[in-house]
Structure 1
Protein backbone atom coordinates (compact mmCIF):
# COMPACT_ATOMS: atom_id res chain seq x y z
CA UNK A 1 0.00 0.00 0.00
CA UNK A 2 1.43 3.38 -1.09
CA UNK A 3 2.32 5.84 1.67
CA UNK A 4 0.37 9.08 1.27
CA UNK A 5 2.03 12.29 2.45
CA UNK A 6 1.28 16.00 2.15
CA UNK A 7 3.18 18.52 0.04
CA UNK A 8 4.32 21.27 2.50
CA UNK A 9 3.65 23.99 -0.10
CA UNK A 10 0.30 23.17 -1.75
CA UNK A 11 -0.78 20.60 0.89
CA UNK A 12 -1.76 18.11 -1.81
CA UNK A 13 -1.68 14.44 -0.78
CA UNK A 14 0.86 12.58 -2.91
CA UNK A 15 2.48 9.16 -3.19
CA UNK A 16 5.83 9.22 -1.34
CA UNK A 17 7.40 6.83 -3.85
CA UNK A 18 6.58 9.08 -6.81
CA UNK A 19 7.11 12.47 -5.14
CA UNK A 20 9.99 14.85 -5.77
CA UNK A 21 12.24 14.75 -2.71
CA UNK A 22 14.45 17.32 -1.04
CA UNK A 23 16.60 16.70 2.04
CA UNK A 24 17.64 19.57 4.29
CA UNK A 25 19.08 19.31 7.78
CA UNK A 26 18.52 15.59 7.86
CA UNK A 27 14.81 16.01 7.09
CA UNK A 28 13.27 14.80 3.83
CA UNK A 29 10.49 16.87 2.23
CA UNK A 30 8.18 15.64 -0.51
CA UNK A 31 6.68 17.72 -3.32
CA UNK A 32 4.07 17.12 -5.99
CA UNK A 33 5.99 19.10 -8.62
CA UNK A 34 9.24 20.88 -9.33
CA UNK A 35 7.39 24.19 -8.95
CA UNK A 36 6.54 23.45 -5.32
CA UNK A 37 10.11 22.37 -4.66
CA UNK A 38 11.46 25.64 -6.08
CA UNK A 39 9.03 27.65 -3.95
CA UNK A 40 10.25 25.79 -0.91
CA UNK A 41 13.89 26.48 -1.80
CA UNK A 42 13.16 30.20 -2.10
CA UNK A 43 11.33 30.27 1.25
CA UNK A 44 12.41 27.15 3.14
CA UNK A 45 10.56 28.21 6.29
CA UNK A 46 7.24 27.82 4.49
CA UNK A 47 5.47 24.62 5.50
CA UNK A 48 8.43 23.38 7.47
CA UNK A 49 6.53 22.87 10.70
CA UNK A 50 3.97 20.70 8.89
CA UNK A 51 6.35 18.91 6.59
CA UNK A 52 5.68 15.19 6.29
CA UNK A 53 9.40 14.62 6.47
CA UNK A 54 9.30 15.68 10.12
CA UNK A 55 7.36 12.53 10.94
CA UNK A 56 9.29 9.43 11.86
CA UNK A 57 8.74 6.34 9.76
CA UNK A 58 8.82 2.95 11.46
CA UNK A 59 9.57 -0.25 9.59
CA UNK A 60 10.11 -3.95 10.28
CA UNK A 61 13.72 -5.20 9.99
CA UNK A 62 12.43 -8.49 8.56
CA UNK A 63 9.75 -6.99 6.28
CA UNK A 64 10.98 -3.57 5.07
CA UNK A 65 7.84 -3.09 2.97
CA UNK A 66 5.90 -2.57 6.23
CA UNK A 67 5.94 1.13 7.13
CA UNK A 68 3.87 3.33 9.44
CA UNK A 69 4.20 6.70 11.18
CA UNK A 70 4.12 5.42 14.78
CA UNK A 71 5.71 2.62 16.85
CA UNK A 72 4.02 -0.76 16.87
CA UNK A 73 4.33 -4.40 15.89
CA UNK A 74 4.87 -5.87 12.44
CA UNK A 75 1.54 -7.33 11.24
CA UNK A 76 3.45 -10.18 9.57
CA UNK A 77 6.01 -11.42 12.11
CA UNK A 78 5.06 -9.56 15.29
CA UNK A 79 8.49 -7.94 15.78
CA UNK A 80 8.73 -4.39 17.06
CA UNK A 81 8.96 -1.79 14.31
CA UNK A 82 12.15 0.29 14.23
CA UNK A 83 12.57 3.95 13.36
CA UNK A 84 14.19 4.41 9.94
CA UNK A 85 15.93 7.69 10.65
CA UNK A 86 17.67 9.48 13.52
CA UNK A 87 17.28 10.03 16.39
CA UNK A 88 17.90 6.37 17.14
CA UNK A 89 17.54 4.44 20.37
CA UNK A 90 14.87 6.43 22.25
CA UNK A 91 12.01 4.00 21.62
CA UNK A 92 14.36 1.04 22.10
CA UNK A 93 15.33 2.38 25.54
CA UNK A 94 11.67 2.75 26.49
CA UNK A 95 10.88 -0.72 25.17
CA UNK A 96 13.85 -2.19 27.07
CA UNK A 97 12.68 -0.56 30.32
CA UNK A 98 9.18 -2.00 29.94
CA UNK A 99 10.49 -5.46 29.06
CA UNK A 100 13.02 -5.33 31.89
CA UNK A 101 10.30 -4.59 34.43
CA UNK A 102 8.11 -7.40 33.10
CA UNK A 103 11.02 -9.84 33.00
CA UNK A 104 12.30 -9.26 36.54
CA UNK A 105 8.87 -9.27 38.14
CA UNK A 106 7.97 -12.37 36.12
CA UNK A 107 11.22 -14.07 37.16
CA UNK A 108 10.62 -13.36 40.85
CA UNK A 109 7.07 -14.73 40.65
CA UNK A 110 8.10 -17.75 38.57
CA UNK A 111 10.62 -18.95 41.16
CA UNK A 112 8.04 -20.01 43.79
CA UNK A 113 5.83 -21.52 41.06
CA UNK A 114 8.74 -23.66 39.92
CA UNK A 115 9.61 -24.72 43.47
CA UNK A 116 6.01 -25.59 44.36
CA UNK A 117 5.57 -27.62 41.18
CA UNK A 118 8.93 -29.32 40.79
CA UNK A 119 10.72 -28.74 44.09
CA UNK A 120 10.41 -32.40 45.03
CA UNK A 121 12.99 -33.17 42.34
CA UNK A 122 15.49 -31.09 44.34
CA UNK A 123 15.60 -32.47 47.90
CA UNK A 124 16.79 -29.19 49.41
CA UNK A 125 13.75 -27.34 48.00
CA UNK A 126 11.12 -30.03 48.52
CA UNK A 127 8.18 -28.02 49.87
CA UNK A 128 5.53 -30.70 49.49
CA UNK A 129 6.42 -32.12 52.89
CA UNK A 130 5.47 -28.80 54.53
CA UNK A 131 2.76 -27.34 52.28
CA UNK A 132 -0.65 -29.01 51.76
CA UNK A 133 -1.32 -29.99 48.16
CA UNK A 134 -4.47 -27.88 47.75
CA UNK A 135 -2.73 -24.80 49.17
CA UNK A 136 0.21 -25.37 46.82
CA UNK A 137 -2.11 -25.54 43.81
CA UNK A 138 -3.79 -22.26 44.72
CA UNK A 139 -0.44 -20.56 45.33
CA UNK A 140 0.78 -21.66 41.89
CA UNK A 141 -2.38 -20.21 40.36
CA UNK A 142 -1.96 -16.90 42.23
CA UNK A 143 1.72 -16.50 41.29
CA UNK A 144 1.33 -17.64 37.67
CA UNK A 145 -1.63 -15.38 36.87
CA UNK A 146 0.27 -12.03 36.79
CA UNK A 147 3.14 -13.69 34.93
CA UNK A 148 0.91 -14.87 32.10
CA UNK A 149 -1.76 -12.15 32.00
CA UNK A 150 0.43 -9.12 32.78
CA UNK A 151 4.07 -9.88 31.97
CA UNK A 152 3.12 -12.04 28.98
CA UNK A 153 0.18 -10.00 27.71
CA UNK A 154 2.26 -8.63 24.82
CA UNK A 155 2.51 -12.13 23.36
CA UNK A 156 -1.27 -12.58 23.36
CA UNK A 157 -1.77 -9.14 21.78
CA UNK A 158 0.70 -9.93 19.00
CA UNK A 159 -0.80 -13.39 18.52
CA UNK A 160 -4.29 -11.92 18.14
CA UNK A 161 -3.01 -9.39 15.59
CA UNK A 162 -1.35 -12.21 13.66
CA UNK A 163 -4.71 -14.00 13.47
CA UNK A 164 -6.52 -10.85 12.33
CA UNK A 165 -3.84 -10.26 9.67
CA UNK A 166 -3.91 -13.94 8.63
CA UNK A 167 -0.16 -14.09 9.13
CA UNK A 168 0.61 -16.58 11.91
CA UNK A 169 4.05 -16.22 13.49
CA UNK A 170 6.20 -17.09 16.49
CA UNK A 171 3.95 -15.21 18.91
CA UNK A 172 0.93 -17.20 17.75
CA UNK A 173 2.69 -20.39 18.80
CA UNK A 174 3.87 -18.92 22.12
CA UNK A 175 0.39 -17.65 22.99
CA UNK A 176 -1.18 -21.00 22.12
CA UNK A 177 1.28 -22.97 24.26
CA UNK A 178 1.25 -20.65 27.26
CA UNK A 179 -2.50 -20.08 27.01
CA UNK A 180 -3.26 -23.81 26.86
CA UNK A 181 -1.02 -24.61 29.85
CA UNK A 182 -2.34 -21.75 31.96
CA UNK A 183 -5.98 -22.16 30.90
CA UNK A 184 -6.10 -25.91 31.56
CA UNK A 185 -4.36 -25.53 34.92
CA UNK A 186 -6.66 -22.68 35.98
CA UNK A 187 -9.75 -24.77 35.22
CA UNK A 188 -8.22 -27.67 37.16
CA UNK A 189 -7.77 -25.44 40.22
CA UNK A 190 -11.07 -23.55 40.02
CA UNK A 191 -13.30 -26.44 38.92
CA UNK A 192 -11.56 -29.69 39.90
CA UNK A 193 -14.80 -31.69 40.06
CA UNK A 194 -15.53 -31.41 36.33
CA UNK A 195 -12.69 -33.82 35.49
CA UNK A 196 -13.33 -37.58 35.58
CA UNK A 197 -11.38 -39.70 38.02
CA UNK A 198 -9.67 -41.49 35.14
CA UNK A 199 -7.71 -38.30 34.37
CA UNK A 200 -6.55 -37.76 37.93
CA UNK A 201 -3.35 -38.93 39.58
CA UNK A 202 -3.56 -39.44 43.35
CA UNK A 203 -6.96 -37.75 43.21
CA UNK A 204 -5.71 -34.58 41.48
CA UNK A 205 -5.41 -33.22 37.95
CA UNK A 206 -1.87 -32.34 36.93
CA UNK A 207 -1.02 -28.64 36.68
CA UNK A 208 1.21 -26.88 34.16
CA UNK A 209 1.58 -23.44 35.71
CA UNK A 210 5.35 -23.83 35.90
CA UNK A 211 5.52 -24.46 32.13
CA UNK A 212 3.43 -21.36 31.37
CA UNK A 213 5.48 -19.23 33.77
CA UNK A 214 8.92 -20.42 32.67
CA UNK A 215 8.13 -20.14 28.94
CA UNK A 216 6.80 -16.60 29.43
CA UNK A 217 9.88 -15.50 31.39
CA UNK A 218 12.32 -17.07 28.91
CA UNK A 219 10.65 -15.41 25.91
CA UNK A 220 10.62 -12.09 27.78
CA UNK A 221 14.35 -12.51 28.40
CA UNK A 222 14.92 -13.03 24.67
CA UNK A 223 12.86 -9.95 23.80
CA UNK A 224 14.74 -7.91 26.41
CA UNK A 225 18.16 -8.94 25.09
CA UNK A 226 17.03 -8.06 21.57
CA UNK A 227 15.78 -4.63 22.66
CA UNK A 228 19.03 -3.89 24.51
CA UNK A 229 21.08 -4.95 21.49
CA UNK A 230 19.10 -2.57 19.27
CA UNK A 231 19.53 0.22 21.79
CA UNK A 232 23.31 -0.27 21.95
CA UNK A 233 23.49 -0.34 18.16
CA UNK A 234 21.51 2.90 18.00
CA UNK A 235 23.78 4.58 20.54
CA UNK A 236 26.86 3.48 18.59
CA UNK A 237 25.44 4.93 15.37
CA UNK A 238 24.64 8.22 17.13
CA UNK A 239 28.20 8.36 18.46
CA UNK A 240 29.62 7.77 14.97
CA UNK A 241 27.38 10.47 13.52
CA UNK A 242 28.59 12.83 16.23
CA UNK A 243 32.22 12.12 15.34
CA UNK A 244 31.49 12.62 11.64
CA UNK A 245 29.93 16.01 12.36
CA UNK A 246 33.15 17.14 14.08
Structure 2
Protein backbone atom coordinates (compact mmCIF):
# COMPACT_ATOMS: atom_id res chain seq x y z
CA UNK A 1 0.00 0.00 0.00
CA UNK A 2 1.35 3.50 -0.79
CA UNK A 3 2.77 5.22 2.30
CA UNK A 4 0.41 8.20 2.21
CA UNK A 5 -2.96 6.71 1.29
CA UNK A 6 -5.81 8.74 2.82
CA UNK A 7 -3.44 11.48 3.99
CA UNK A 8 -3.40 15.12 2.95
CA UNK A 9 -0.16 17.01 2.44
CA UNK A 10 0.23 20.79 2.10
CA UNK A 11 3.46 21.89 0.39
CA UNK A 12 4.33 25.59 0.33
CA UNK A 13 6.35 26.88 -2.59
CA UNK A 14 4.75 23.92 -4.30
CA UNK A 15 5.35 25.08 -7.87
CA UNK A 16 9.12 25.55 -7.57
CA UNK A 17 11.92 23.17 -8.43
CA UNK A 18 12.00 21.34 -5.12
CA UNK A 19 8.35 21.99 -4.27
CA UNK A 20 6.94 20.44 -7.42
CA UNK A 21 9.18 17.39 -6.92
CA UNK A 22 7.78 16.98 -3.40
CA UNK A 23 4.19 17.43 -4.58
CA UNK A 24 4.52 14.84 -7.35
CA UNK A 25 6.18 12.30 -5.08
CA UNK A 26 3.61 12.58 -2.29
CA UNK A 27 0.85 12.24 -4.88
CA UNK A 28 2.51 9.16 -6.39
CA UNK A 29 2.59 7.66 -2.89
CA UNK A 30 -1.19 8.02 -2.56
CA UNK A 31 -1.52 11.39 -0.82
CA UNK A 32 -4.00 14.14 -1.47
CA UNK A 33 -1.83 17.16 -2.20
CA UNK A 34 -2.51 20.83 -1.66
CA UNK A 35 -0.10 22.97 -3.67
CA UNK A 36 0.49 26.26 -1.88
CA UNK A 37 2.06 29.12 -3.81
CA UNK A 38 1.68 32.52 -5.37
CA UNK A 39 1.98 31.52 -9.04
CA UNK A 40 -1.62 30.63 -9.85
CA UNK A 41 -0.90 29.65 -13.46
CA UNK A 42 1.80 27.13 -12.60
CA UNK A 43 -0.09 25.91 -9.55
CA UNK A 44 -3.30 25.26 -11.45
CA UNK A 45 -1.36 23.52 -14.23
CA UNK A 46 0.34 21.19 -11.76
CA UNK A 47 -2.96 20.40 -10.03
CA UNK A 48 -4.59 19.68 -13.40
CA UNK A 49 -1.69 17.41 -14.34
CA UNK A 50 -2.05 15.37 -11.16
CA UNK A 51 -5.85 15.13 -11.21
CA UNK A 52 -8.56 14.72 -8.61
CA UNK A 53 -6.32 14.28 -5.56
CA UNK A 54 -4.61 17.63 -6.10
CA UNK A 55 -5.64 21.21 -5.41
CA UNK A 56 -3.88 24.53 -5.84
CA UNK A 57 -4.45 27.25 -3.27
CA UNK A 58 -2.93 30.69 -3.48
CA UNK A 59 -0.81 31.06 -0.36
CA UNK A 60 1.23 34.06 0.75
CA UNK A 61 3.21 32.52 3.59
CA UNK A 62 3.78 35.92 5.21
CA UNK A 63 0.02 36.42 5.74
CA UNK A 64 -1.74 34.58 8.57
CA UNK A 65 -5.14 34.94 6.91
CA UNK A 66 -3.76 33.36 3.74
CA UNK A 67 -2.52 30.46 5.83
CA UNK A 68 -5.93 30.04 7.45
CA UNK A 69 -7.57 29.92 4.02
CA UNK A 70 -5.07 27.30 2.79
CA UNK A 71 -5.59 25.01 5.78
CA UNK A 72 -9.36 25.39 5.44
CA UNK A 73 -9.09 24.53 1.74
CA UNK A 74 -7.19 21.33 2.61
CA UNK A 75 -9.71 20.23 5.20
CA UNK A 76 -12.68 21.17 3.02
CA UNK A 77 -11.38 19.32 -0.04
CA UNK A 78 -9.99 16.22 1.65
CA UNK A 79 -11.30 16.09 5.22
CA UNK A 80 -8.07 16.56 7.13
CA UNK A 81 -4.50 17.83 7.05
CA UNK A 82 -1.78 15.34 7.99
CA UNK A 83 1.54 16.75 6.73
CA UNK A 84 2.82 20.30 6.33
CA UNK A 85 5.98 20.93 4.32
CA UNK A 86 7.32 24.45 4.87
CA UNK A 87 9.24 24.61 1.61
CA UNK A 88 8.69 28.20 0.42
CA UNK A 89 11.81 30.33 0.47
CA UNK A 90 13.57 33.26 -1.15
CA UNK A 91 17.21 34.33 -1.31
CA UNK A 92 18.70 37.78 -1.05
CA UNK A 93 20.90 39.34 -3.73
CA UNK A 94 24.49 38.98 -2.52
CA UNK A 95 25.67 41.96 -0.47
CA UNK A 96 27.72 42.57 2.64
CA UNK A 97 25.88 43.34 5.86
CA UNK A 98 26.82 46.99 5.50
CA UNK A 99 25.37 47.07 1.99
CA UNK A 100 22.16 45.18 2.82
CA UNK A 101 19.12 47.42 3.16
CA UNK A 102 16.56 46.75 5.88
CA UNK A 103 13.76 46.09 3.40
CA UNK A 104 15.73 43.17 1.95
CA UNK A 105 16.50 41.86 5.42
CA UNK A 106 12.84 42.02 6.42
CA UNK A 107 11.59 40.42 3.21
CA UNK A 108 13.89 37.40 3.50
CA UNK A 109 13.02 36.80 7.15
CA UNK A 110 9.31 37.33 6.48
CA UNK A 111 9.21 34.55 3.89
CA UNK A 112 11.79 32.10 5.21
CA UNK A 113 11.19 32.39 8.94
CA UNK A 114 7.85 34.08 9.63
CA UNK A 115 6.32 31.96 6.88
CA UNK A 116 7.36 28.75 8.66
CA UNK A 117 6.25 30.17 12.03
CA UNK A 118 2.79 31.04 10.70
CA UNK A 119 2.50 27.68 8.99
CA UNK A 120 3.12 25.81 12.22
CA UNK A 121 0.86 28.15 14.17
CA UNK A 122 -2.10 27.80 11.83
CA UNK A 123 -1.65 24.14 10.83
CA UNK A 124 -1.11 22.76 14.34
CA UNK A 125 -4.83 22.73 15.28
CA UNK A 126 -5.67 20.95 12.01
CA UNK A 127 -2.93 18.35 12.57
CA UNK A 128 -4.25 17.88 16.09
CA UNK A 129 -7.79 17.37 14.74
CA UNK A 130 -6.39 14.68 12.44
CA UNK A 131 -5.02 12.81 15.45
CA UNK A 132 -1.43 13.91 14.88
CA UNK A 133 0.80 14.64 11.94
CA UNK A 134 4.11 15.88 10.65
CA UNK A 135 5.77 19.21 9.92
CA UNK A 136 8.98 19.29 7.91
CA UNK A 137 10.78 22.61 7.52
CA UNK A 138 13.09 22.92 4.52
CA UNK A 139 16.05 25.00 5.67
CA UNK A 140 19.57 25.03 4.17
CA UNK A 141 23.15 24.13 4.96
CA UNK A 142 23.61 27.91 5.11
CA UNK A 143 21.72 27.63 8.39
CA UNK A 144 24.64 25.64 9.81
CA UNK A 145 27.45 28.11 9.23
CA UNK A 146 28.28 31.60 8.06
CA UNK A 147 28.27 32.59 4.39
CA UNK A 148 29.58 35.96 3.31
CA UNK A 149 27.13 38.23 1.45
CA UNK A 150 24.05 36.25 2.46
CA UNK A 151 23.34 37.49 6.00
CA UNK A 152 19.52 37.66 5.69
CA UNK A 153 19.26 34.19 4.18
CA UNK A 154 21.72 32.65 6.64
CA UNK A 155 20.00 34.28 9.63
CA UNK A 156 16.58 33.08 8.50
CA UNK A 157 17.73 29.48 8.10
CA UNK A 158 19.57 29.46 11.44
CA UNK A 159 16.37 30.67 13.08
CA UNK A 160 14.30 27.92 11.47
CA UNK A 161 16.41 25.44 13.42
CA UNK A 162 15.38 26.95 16.73
CA UNK A 163 11.77 27.21 15.62
CA UNK A 164 11.79 23.53 14.66
CA UNK A 165 13.14 22.38 18.00
CA UNK A 166 10.71 24.52 19.97
CA UNK A 167 7.75 23.31 17.92
CA UNK A 168 8.87 19.70 18.36
CA UNK A 169 8.86 20.11 22.15
CA UNK A 170 5.50 21.88 22.21
CA UNK A 171 3.68 19.54 19.83
CA UNK A 172 5.20 16.14 20.57
CA UNK A 173 2.53 15.15 23.09
CA UNK A 174 -0.08 15.86 20.43
CA UNK A 175 1.58 13.27 18.19
CA UNK A 176 2.90 15.97 15.89
CA UNK A 177 6.52 15.53 14.82
CA UNK A 178 8.61 18.46 13.57
CA UNK A 179 11.94 18.07 11.76
CA UNK A 180 14.25 20.05 9.49
CA UNK A 181 16.03 19.22 6.25
CA UNK A 182 19.14 21.22 5.30
CA UNK A 183 19.75 20.84 1.55
CA UNK A 184 23.04 21.81 -0.01
CA UNK A 185 23.30 23.10 -3.58
CA UNK A 186 20.32 21.60 -5.41
CA UNK A 187 19.89 21.96 -9.16
CA UNK A 188 16.80 24.18 -9.39
CA UNK A 189 16.04 27.67 -10.74
CA UNK A 190 16.77 28.89 -7.19
CA UNK A 191 20.43 28.05 -7.90
CA UNK A 192 20.64 28.60 -11.65
CA UNK A 193 18.79 31.92 -11.88
CA UNK A 194 19.86 35.17 -10.17
CA UNK A 195 17.87 36.30 -7.16
CA UNK A 196 15.79 39.45 -7.62
CA UNK A 197 18.24 42.35 -7.74
CA UNK A 198 21.27 40.12 -8.42
CA UNK A 199 23.32 39.95 -11.60
CA UNK A 200 24.61 36.38 -11.20
CA UNK A 201 23.30 33.06 -9.93
CA UNK A 202 24.74 30.96 -7.10
CA UNK A 203 25.69 28.30 -9.67
CA UNK A 204 28.01 30.81 -11.30
CA UNK A 205 30.21 30.76 -8.19
CA UNK A 206 29.95 27.12 -7.17
CA UNK A 207 31.40 23.87 -8.51
CA UNK A 208 30.80 20.53 -6.77
CA UNK A 209 33.98 19.05 -8.21
CA UNK A 210 36.14 19.33 -5.03
CA UNK A 211 33.63 17.59 -2.76
CA UNK A 212 32.97 13.98 -1.79
CA UNK A 213 30.04 13.56 -4.20
CA UNK A 214 31.06 15.74 -7.15
CA UNK A 215 27.66 16.69 -8.54
CA UNK A 216 24.86 19.08 -7.82
CA UNK A 217 22.01 17.68 -5.80
CA UNK A 218 18.72 16.93 -7.54
CA UNK A 219 15.29 17.78 -6.15
CA UNK A 220 14.55 14.05 -5.92
CA UNK A 221 17.44 13.64 -3.46
CA UNK A 222 15.68 15.95 -1.04
CA UNK A 223 12.26 14.52 -1.82
CA UNK A 224 13.25 10.99 -0.87
CA UNK A 225 14.43 12.15 2.55
CA UNK A 226 11.28 14.24 2.98
CA UNK A 227 9.04 11.25 2.27
CA UNK A 228 10.86 9.20 4.88
CA UNK A 229 10.57 11.88 7.56
CA UNK A 230 6.87 12.36 6.77
CA UNK A 231 6.07 8.65 6.98
CA UNK A 232 5.45 6.28 9.88
CA UNK A 233 8.94 4.87 9.25
CA UNK A 234 10.19 7.97 11.11
CA UNK A 235 7.62 7.83 13.92
CA UNK A 236 10.28 8.15 16.67
CA UNK A 237 12.10 11.11 15.11
CA UNK A 238 11.33 14.70 16.09
CA UNK A 239 13.29 17.91 16.60
CA UNK A 240 16.06 16.57 14.37
CA UNK A 241 18.09 18.05 11.52
CA UNK A 242 19.09 16.24 8.36
CA UNK A 243 21.85 17.48 6.07
CA UNK A 244 21.73 16.44 2.42
CA UNK A 245 24.63 18.12 0.66
CA UNK A 246 26.85 15.53 -1.02
CA UNK A 247 29.55 16.14 1.57
CA UNK A 248 29.84 19.89 1.02
CA UNK A 249 30.07 20.62 4.75
CA UNK A 250 32.86 18.06 5.09
CA UNK A 251 35.13 20.26 3.00
CA UNK A 252 37.14 19.40 -0.12
CA UNK A 253 37.95 15.73 -0.69
CA UNK A 254 41.61 14.79 -0.61
CA UNK A 255 42.86 13.39 -3.89
CA UNK A 256 45.24 10.42 -3.75
CA UNK A 257 48.62 11.15 -5.28
CA UNK A 258 49.50 9.17 -8.35
CA UNK A 259 52.99 7.89 -9.18
Identify the structure with the greater strand proportion. Answer: 2
Identify the structure with the greater helix proportion. Answer: 1
Normalising by structure 2, report the TM-score. Answer: 0.23
Task: Indicate the structure (1 or 2) with the bigger Cα radius of gyration.
Answer: 1
Normalising by structure 1, report the TM-score. Answer: 0.24
